[in-house]
């Protein structure tokens, strides 16, 4: 294991994203999305390393938007990571809350949904209640983030069910409301990560640093050095 600081992780993650030379996405925002998840012990770096394979410069299709109603919208991410587009999409969907007390955003064909964590926490601090849910068919798992207005960190509920393997959609559903969501019954989920537990882990990360597996750190460092390789088009 290696121990790094918050600022070190933000810096290296930002350089790793810049090394992809994508025409979209803000490196500082994405680096903080990775670090926010890692700070609470939810493997932000591992999720980011997986995301690198979906952040492909050749896949530059525009996201398609379909309005189902005045309060329901579906956006197709074309099998890309949520990292690049989510901050912009959430800013756009917030405008819908001006005229509606409740909005549903369905993000279709997207990857790396755990990394929505930091951006959703930001919305909660702005006075918005959020419920985000997705299925991970490979592990027959349903994951839910729930943040009520003003919460710094979410309650996370995880449910395992073999029937979920039938749901192969790569979708993230985000519900936003100006009213609080009711907390689900804990007994209906096999795992509950409380906001208090996440807060303790986060505080320990600030004090003691972030412990990272050496192999993961080396992969991240290698990706960050790609920005130093000359672009052949510039030669």
d(Cα 31, Cα 22) in Å, to the nearest integer?
Answer: 14
What pLDDT, in 10s, does the model give residues 152-181? 999 999 988 776 555 567 899 999 999 999
Half-sphere exposure of 146 (CA within 13 A, CB side): 17
| pLDDT beyond 50 at 233 | no
**pTM over 0.95, yes/no:** no
d(Cα 158, Cα 155) in Å, to the nearest integer?
Answer: 10
Q: Tell me the average pLDDT across 22-29.
A: 86
Q: Tell me the average pLDDT across 57-64.
A: 71
Higher per-residue confidence, 187 vs 76: 76
Q: Tell me the average pLDDT across 212-235.
A: 74
Nearest to 85 by CA among 64, 100, 68: 64
d(Cα 113, Cα 121) in Å, to the nearest integer?
Answer: 14
Average of per-residue pLDDT values in the chain: 87
Q: What share of the chain has pLDDT > 70, as a percent?
A: 89
Listed by start position, the domains of the chain span: 2-234
Per-residue confidence band for 198, with pLDDT thresholds at 50, 70 and 90 = very high
Per-residue confidence band for 11, with pLDDT thresholds at 50, 70 and 90 = very high
d(Cα 58, Cα 35) in Å, to the nearest integer?
Answer: 26
Nearest to 87 by CA among 206, 174, 179, 11: 174
Query: How far is the CA of 120 from the CAs of 17, 113, 152, 161, 211, in angstroms?
Result: 21, 11, 10, 26, 24
Half-sphere exposure of 156 (CA within 13 A, CB side): 22
Q: Tell me the average pLDDT across 189-198.
A: 89
Which tokens go with 17? 């994203």
d(Cα 109, Cα 187) in Å, to the nearest integer?
Answer: 30
| Secondary structure string (H, E, C) spanning 95-135 | HHHHCCCEEEEEEEEEECHHHHHHHHHHHHHCCCEEEEEEE
Per-residue confidence band for 212, with pLDDT thresholds at 50, 70 and 90 = very high
Nearest to 89 by CA among 69, 68, 102, 103: 103
Per-residue confidence band for 234, with pLDDT thresholds at 50, 70 and 90 = very low
Which tokens go with 127? 């006075």
- Sequential DSSP letters for 171-218: -EEEEEESSPPPPPPGGGSSEEE-HHHHHHHHHHHHHH-EEE-HHHHH
pLDDT of amino acid 235:
40
| pLDDT beyond 60 at 191 | yes
Lowest mean pLDDT among 36-50, 78-92, 142-156, 189-203: 78-92
| pLDDT beyond 70 at 58 | no
């Amino acid at each position: 294991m290696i121990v790094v600081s918050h600022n070190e992780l933000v810096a290296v993650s930002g350089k790793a994203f810049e090394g992809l030379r994508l025409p979209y996405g803000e490196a500082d925002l994405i680096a903080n999305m990775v670090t926010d998840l890692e700070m609470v012990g939810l493997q932000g770096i591992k999720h980011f390393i997986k995301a690198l394979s979906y952040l492909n410069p050749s896949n530059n299709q525009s996201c398609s938007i379909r309005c189902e109603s005045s309060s329901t919208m579906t956006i197709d991410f074309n099998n890309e990571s949520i990292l690049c587009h989510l901050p912009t999409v959430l800013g756009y969907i917030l405008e819908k809350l001006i005229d509606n007390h409740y909005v549903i955003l369905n993000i279709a064909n997207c990857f790396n949904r755990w990394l929505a964590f930091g951006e959703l926490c930001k919305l909660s601090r702005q006075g918005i209640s959020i419920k985000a849910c997705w299925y991970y068919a490979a592990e027959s798992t349903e994951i839910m983030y729930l943040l009520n207005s003003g919460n710094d960190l979410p309650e996370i509920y995880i449910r395992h069910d073999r029937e979920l393997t039938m749901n192969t959609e790569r979708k993230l559903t985000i519900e936003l409301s100006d009213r609080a969501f009711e907390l689900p019954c804990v007994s209906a989920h096999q795992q509950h990560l409380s906001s208090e537990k996440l807060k303790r882990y986060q505080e320990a990360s600030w004090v003691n640093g972030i412990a990272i597996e050496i192999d993961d750190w080396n992969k991240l460092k290698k990706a960050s050095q790609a920005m130093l390789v000359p672009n052949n088009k510039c030669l």
